[in-house]
A and B are shown apart, each in its own frame.
Chain A
């Protein structure tokens, strides 16, 4: 059911999802089995008069409570691990760690608006506020294997920036700046959804995450003379204004 995970660290979230889902499926099936057994065994036609006490074997069902407590603790541990990794550590610290590991990163700003994502790129120099900044509508183009740091804010109402394929979601809030971080490791075109009701066209607030090979990305950046918001949508698998960059 889960969409393909194309990020380096998405497995941390997947681990929590799988642990919690399998845990509740197993506990649920066992509970249902016990309930059906009890209902069948103590039906009126079989057992016309109630017993004066619960059979001692069945009293052991209370063990489920302890099982749940232990399961809760394990789940909390794994879950908090993922949460700390993505969101509790300050972005600056993550950036520093990434640089120390010798990995590269790009930064973008995403502004949620009714009903599109405006994506601001710092351009070739990687610095915001310089002449080569440019904006694109609904297109987040990033290089494969780079860490991507996204600063989120909203131009109007609440939105929520959700990329199912990298298992990341965070609300986009007017008057505040929030942060996301992910590391895509597979070339391709993926969808970005809005997950917070933002008005009548909420369901059409769709963006694309386009992951390019490093050299394609650099070529694309060279040929990106965009200085104003561009509402260019993807057509099929092609970004129609890309010069030189070949999508695979």
Chain B
């Protein structure tokens, strides 16, 4: 029915349809655009993964050129075109203004522009896959000289240039979004909403945006140098007799960005988990301050650990020791955060809703992901584990948890707020369990491959005698991966079906949650609060306060405005 309404609107009010659904300045619509685009790219990235995963079980399914191109695009897509747009562009846009009681973000036009830049970057990325000469296949880390001299090494000149261009646009888009988030969260908070009353999700988005802002600059400089190497034949990273560039320089520039980048997507995911876990366990965060300070400390430390990606890459061995110390050090704020998360369940009255199941599984996976970082951060064992499947498995346990488990927890949690409808709960629970089982079936055996010394990015394990006996592990992983993707595709059908035809959610606050976004109607209208304005009276997680009937206190209340709201906060 609503489809018919939408299409009728498209016929009779062409322009208003464009304004409302395409070139909207409404933070919620932009957020949904990011979300949907991110999901579309996730289908692409997931399909690529399945294809090369099948090849690992049955070498010869793809050519080796295809295999390396798919691996490269899978990594880049999942990081930059799925995790970032969904967690920052999607959840950040939809939730930050609602959670702080604002009517929109600080710069709505910039916000719209950021989405369309992102959209163009996605299109360019997809085009780069099909250009003559082939897709770029030098790994998502784009290490030169392999990437700097494509004519000599890969024959993918145009593909590489377009790949870098798409990356640059994506960064520009996320920078615009980040500036928006920081400004919005710092200047447009509702009355009474002090910094230490901000929901943890908002804190996490702000810290993530700051990290991105500070870390991306060197990489942009590096990318320009790399483009010059490719197009003009300079020698920043290329090495030829007499003209000696330094490929290791790129690794420094890349990982100086690359490590904070991991936290750029990790922090919003942790924020989502805290919102979900507090709501469904009916308990406040065990230590709000510790989580906030740990995020800030880890954020600062994340600028001092980058070279742990290069322990055996030719950097000064003594400095590798120093980076090993900072890397092990950074595990401390995160282990504290996870302990706080675990204790947030304690004493609660836990409801195992789909969102909560995903949050619990994400929490468990973060424990595995975090712990498995230690053998890699310790430089002595990294000699052996560097560039093996142990690394691959470690970062899948973190990044998959971020980009899929935490994201779906967030989607299930805020779905009624975003669309005013419900997703079937029984389906959600089955989906959560299947995802958990298939994911571990796919990922966990990777630790054993790592221990066996299986280097990553191998088209086939059959070339090496010491790896041949582990071929069955690859087969097991592939079967699980196919099942995992199938489960997610079914979920996406249910997701889109529920947007248009799910049962209507009448209550604005179905989960009895405390934060401000639950005061707004579902879905919130343009400018969110109508003729009301939220006023904040207390902290964000006032659960378990008087025990019995009303076990929570909303963070604030809506106050009727004397005069109707103006057209928002255009600056």
Contacts and interface: CB of A to CB of B under 8 A. Distances in A.
A2 B453 contact: yes
Interface string A65-92: 1001100100110111111101110000
A43 B388 contact: no
A49 to B, nearest CB: 5
Contacts of A240: none
A202 B378 contact: no
Contacts of A31: 342, 367
A32 B370 CA distance: 13
B482 interface: no
Interface in B441-457: 448, 451-453, 455-457
B146 A20 contact: no
A174 B374 CA distance: 30
B234 interface: no
Interface string B363-389: 110011001101100111101111110
Given A64-B335, A200-B64, A83 B348 contact: no
B286 A169 contact: no
A164 B312 CA distance: 14
Contacts of A84: 321
Contact of B466 (A24, A58, A83, A191): A191
Interface residues of A, number: 85
A202 B457 contact: yes
B248 A176 contact: yes
Contact of B247 (A20, A24, A158, A203): A158
B383 A28 contact: no
A203 B64 contact: yes
Contacts of B325: 76
Using C-beta atoms within 8 Å of the partner chain, give the interface range for chain B. Answer: 35 or more
A206 B146 contact: no
Interface string B285-329: 010000000000000000000000000111001101100110011
Interface string A31-74: 11011001100111001111111110011011011001100100
A72 B374 contact: yes
B145 A158 contact: yes
B317 A88 contact: yes
Contacts of B143: 158, 196-197
Contact of B321 (A17, A20, A83): A83
B342 A50 contact: no
B213 interface: no
A42 B324 contact: no
A128 B274 CA distance: 63
17 contacts: A1-B448, A16-B380, A16-B381, A23-B374, A34-B342, A42-B345, A42-B348, A49-B544, A72-B332, A87-B317, A158-B247, A169-B383, A175-B239, A196-B387, A197-B143, A199-B154, A200-B137
